[in-house]
Structure 1
């Protein structure tokens, strides 16, 4: 949560707008919708809702080069999208004009012509292309949350308690439209979170997520170690619903999706399907991708981010803080930026400045005795590791600084300087406490706790009388660091000594 208590998604790095627009222009559904909008040049008589009539669907499918049993359905989908996002305008028919062969005269009561959005689409830049694509994506997200009409009809007409035409209220549908929409919104948000950190430093795109893993994140509470049979059944039900939804979204270019292998359902049978979908215990020799895998594309990340922002969720982009001063920058990233995102933001911040001046400003902002000051200094040390020799003067200027001298010596030594004055013992222990304090900012993950434990063990083993020396260090976080050592150190005797040292450090305050 950020400072104004609005939900916050992890920071994301998006490709340039032009690259996203090229991806949008290559998305199958938008390609078909634009093609049919151009096909309507000269006017086409359609139904009152803008729907194609009679053989028009066949003509539309032929225009798109579609064949097979799904050709008409795909053509209808593309045409409806073109109407929904105003690539096609629908106006009342004007019988006096000749707009070609008329379908059933009782049905053809409107006229379809290319809309203003098509003209803007053809003549404008990347932002306008993306605006049209956003409309397509939004419509399809809404469609994906709707039930499958064949299943709905079967539920209405089949079995005990089915639909009675004489009594429309007799049908009890097991479908909650809000729940369906919430499921898809949550799935897209989880995909966003799972993939946002993968390309922060410009690396390869995020790997695809197995569908059982995504479904489990939606159906099984985080604090549950062993899912119950009921939970596994819910995971399976969520998987089947997501399978339908991602099939619908794939033509938008927002997701890359490999559907569930239908042979699995035949092999397992409906009753055994729940157990087979356990995300934590697949068969060793089984191809997990048979259960479905999905990846949110960069275009999909863009689309989900727009949807979340429209709903009041804060979804920061890497680089959007580059105009801030260093002190403000640290304040912003401290709130909801995990370390990889913070480093990516700092990299962008330095990239738009003269390096030497930028490093001087960062070092000045890293000073302080507040709770976050050790974290700021650690980030500086990490981000400066990749800096070039042109920033060396800034590091030499702080060699004798009590708070920055240690990290300056580390940088100079790592960059081959041979005239670095050795640190005093006081500086070594102060830097040790400062480094530990930085690690303790925020809640440690299990992996981070293990890393801190190993660091503690190494330091205590390396320095005789470590705790006797450390408790005297005049650092604001000395007692807190020693208390953490008392909790986390794997050796019971060392942990006991740490707690005693923490008590003595507290007595100095």
Structure 2
């Protein structure tokens, strides 16, 4: 009935201070910072800004890593992140190094000082640059046999890579998006680790497919192993907690994803398990926002007007809507209950499709505002759109001097209430109970209610005809809906 629903539910993020602390504690970021502080005037870099090979053992040793191939790889990875995040500034090569290659130097970047003097937002901005860099590494082509790509003239045959950067990025972003959605499921209670085969299958297996074909299973297997590599790269930047695919399993099965579908509950963890961290929720949401995706967060509306609040929480889960409204009310400060309630009531007026749901959330917001809102509520008792909800609020707060509503107001409130619940996509049993309860309160309900001057009257009566369990009442509702449409000229 109302405006387009948001695709993503709102996320509850940790505070920026907590997230900044998490960012500074991410293992790869920690190593990058240590190397940035270790670098000095004698540190030499190659033409691409990379640490020259001769200095990698010393860098690895500074990080407490062994001075072997693995240690050098970790040190090189951390160095690249320090450069990519502005912790280090690279100068252009000014001469030839000992091996004949051009070499440059580095100095501390402006962002290095911000890690100790900057705000949480500034620290998170630096970390997000690091996430982008690691994401790019995770979607880079796998060069298992680089020599095969180099021609006789020394040129690289990029076509032989069979690599589409846009496709790779879209796939990984899709996987992270699915993980984000799974984490927010059930009001944020769905943050348990997700089996890697299930995550890979979510991107490969069509929704309407019954038994996957061998070709589809092979694609899932390939995607799963690619994701295993990617999550191993992404974990050190702090966005996921990842349990890799059991290497012994790979040796046993040869095709781990091919047998994952048959694994029992005890074995499924051997196929890889991944979970988004609170920092990961923040980072993935930031990437979504940058890509133009509507990814709301609880607290986004705290400094907005009441109209934006009521429209914004229209299709939030109940707990998220309640939290958003509480933040909005808290922002009005002590003594702000009356003007806040008046602003909410003014925003709840209207005859557009979204108005019934706005009034429902206004009623919920007024309940959270407390007894201090009473003067603003009493001020709308005579309002044809708000008088009904005002009487309900006053009765719930124990008021005994509330004037009785007119029959027209009672019927109008019944239509408005059901219209709001239809728009909210509530539970069918609850909606059916509401429909039957309201219609049973008044003798001859369907003989009168079709005359209600509400934009949703006909639509509500049609819904009552579908939902009412009593066949006669359902038939009366359909007849009343026809009368309402005829009365409205439609």
Normalising by structure 2, what TM-score? 0.83
Distance 1:119 1:420 in 2: 63
Aligned in 2, Cα 1:390/1:213: closer, same or farther, shift over 3 Å?
A: farther
Could you tell me which residue of structure 2 aligns to residue 452 of structure 1?
431
* Partner SS state of residue 70, structure 1: helix
CA contact (8 A) 2:94 2:102 kept: no
1:4-47 Cα distance to aligned partner (Å, 9 max, x none): x9x97554443333222211111111110010011112331233
Cα deviation, residue 137, structure 1: 0.7
Aligned in 2, Cα 1:63/1:411: closer, same or farther, shift over 3 Å?
A: same
Aligned in 2, Cα 1:364/1:109: closer, same or farther, shift over 3 Å?
A: closer
Distance 2:410 2:7 in 1: 38
1:126-171 Cα distance to aligned partner (Å, 9 max, x none): 2332222121111000001113333x55xx86xxxx9986997698
Distance 1:337 1:193 in 2: 14
Distance 2:380 2:175 in 1: 49
Distance 2:482 2:442 in 1: 20
- The yes-or-no answer on 1:497 pairing with 2:485 is no
1:273-313 Cα distance to aligned partner (Å, 9 max, x none): 346348xxx74x44654443333333223322333333333
- The yes-or-no answer on 1:181 pairing with 2:169 is yes
Distance 2:468 2:340 in 1: 38
Distance 2:395 2:220 in 1: 53
- The yes-or-no answer on 1:352 pairing with 2:293 is no
Q: Which moved more, 1:375-384 or 1:312-321?
A: 312-321
Specify which of 235, 239, 250 is matched with residue 235 of structure 2.
250
Could you tell me which residue of structure 2 aligns to residue 61 of structure 1?
60
Distance 1:205 1:168 in 2: 45
1:323-344 Cα distance to aligned partner (Å, 9 max, x none): 443235445666x866665554
| Aligned residues: CA RMSD | 3.7
Cα deviation, residue 372, structure 1: 1.7
* Partner SS state of residue 148, structure 1: coil
CA contact (8 A) 1:232 1:275 kept: no
Could you tell me which residue of structure 2 aligns to residue 378 of structure 1?
360
Could you tell me which residue of structure 1 aligns to residue 75 of structure 2?
75
Distance 1:182 1:383 in 2: 40
Q: Which moved more, 1:132-141 or 1:325-334?
A: 325-334
Q: Which moved more, 1:298-307 or 1:349-358?
A: 298-307
Could you tell me which residue of structure 1 aligns to residue 370 of structure 2?
388
1:355-396 Cα distance to aligned partner (Å, 9 max, x none): 221011111221222222211111112223333222223233
Distance 2:260 2:241 in 1: 23
* Partner SS state of residue 441, structure 1: helix
Could you tell me which residue of structure 2 aligns to residue 485 of structure 1?
464
Could you tell me which residue of structure 2 aligns to residue 99 of structure 1?
none
Distance 2:479 2:10 in 1: 41
Aligned in 2, Cα 1:437/1:86: closer, same or farther, shift over 3 Å?
A: same
Aligned in 2, Cα 1:505/1:287: closer, same or farther, shift over 3 Å?
A: farther
Aligned in 2, Cα 1:208/1:72: closer, same or farther, shift over 3 Å?
A: same
Aligned in 2, Cα 1:407/1:227: closer, same or farther, shift over 3 Å?
A: farther
Structure 1: where are the runs of 5+ without partners?
96-101
Distance 1:429 1:216 in 2: 51
- The yes-or-no answer on 1:219 pairing with 2:204 is yes
Distance 1:19 1:350 in 2: 24
Aligned in 2, Cα 1:72/1:384: closer, same or farther, shift over 3 Å?
A: same
Specify which of 278, 284, 291 is matched with residue 311 of structure 1.
291
Could you tell me which residue of structure 1 aligns to residue 178 of structure 2?
190
Cα deviation, residue 103, structure 1: 8.0
Q: How many residues align?
A: 480
Distance 1:501 1:268 in 2: 66
* Partner SS state of residue 109, structure 1: strand
* Partner SS state of residue 86, structure 1: coil
Q: 1:60-459 residue pairs with structure 2 within 5 A?
A: 60-67=59-66, 70-92=70-92, 104-107=98-101, 109-150=103-144, 172-195=160-183, 206-222=191-207, 224=208, 226=210, 228-229=212-213, 230-266=215-251, 268-270=253-255, 273-274=257-258, 276-277=260-261, 283=264, 285-286=265-266, 288-331=268-311, 342-353=321-332, 354-420=336-402, 423=405, 425-441=407-423, 444=425, 448-459=427-438
* Partner SS state of residue 51, structure 2: coil
* Partner SS state of residue 427, structure 2: helix
Aligned in 2, Cα 1:195/1:423: closer, same or farther, shift over 3 Å?
A: farther
Distance 2:280 2:296 in 1: 16
Distance 2:258 2:219 in 1: 8
- The yes-or-no answer on 1:470 pairing with 2:444 is no
Aligned in 2, Cα 1:108/1:369: closer, same or farther, shift over 3 Å?
A: closer
* Partner SS state of residue 440, structure 1: helix
Structure 2: where are the runs of 5+ without partners?
none
Distance 1:210 1:435 in 2: 42
Aligned in 2, Cα 1:116/1:227: closer, same or farther, shift over 3 Å?
A: same
Q: Which moved more, 1:371-380 or 1:287-296?
A: 287-296
Aligned in 2, Cα 1:169/1:143: closer, same or farther, shift over 3 Å?
A: closer
